[in-house]
Amino acid sequence: MHTTTIHVRWGELDPYNHVNHAVYSSYLEHARVAALEYADRGLDTLSDAGLQIVVVRSDVRFRAPATAGDELTITTKVAEVRGASMVWEQHIHRGDEAIVSAEITAAVLTGGRPSRIPDDLKAVLTVLG
- Residue 48 or 119: the one with the smaller Cβ distance to a second copy is 48
Q: Is there a contact between 60 and 101 (Cβ–Cβ < 8 Å)?
A: yes
- Provide the minimum distance between the beta carbon of 54 and a second copy in the complex, in angstroms, as a whole number: 7
- B/e letters for 22-36, b = 16+ CB within 10 Å, e = fewer, are ebbeebbbebbbbbb
- Residue 53 or 125: the one with the smaller Cβ distance to a second copy is 53
DSSP characters over 29-63: HHHHHHHHHHTT--HHHHHHTTEEEEEEEEEEEE-
- Residue 42 or 118: the one with the smaller Cβ distance to a second copy is 42
Q: Is there a contact between 80 and 87 (Cβ–Cβ < 8 Å)?
A: yes
Provide the binding-site residues for a second copy, judged by CB under 8 A.
7, 9-17, 20-23, 25-26, 29-30, 33, 37, 42-44, 47, 52, 54-62, 65, 67-69
- Provide the minimum distance between the beta carbon of 78 and a second copy in the complex, in angstroms, as a whole number: 17
- CA-based radius of gyration for the chain: 15
- Residue 4 or 78: the one with the smaller Cβ distance to a second copy is 4
- Provide the minimum distance between the beta carbon of 55 and a second copy in the complex, in angstroms, as a whole number: 4
- Provide the minimum distance between the beta carbon of 45 and a second copy in the complex, in angstroms, as a whole number: 10
Secondary structure of residue 28 in the 3-state scheme: helix
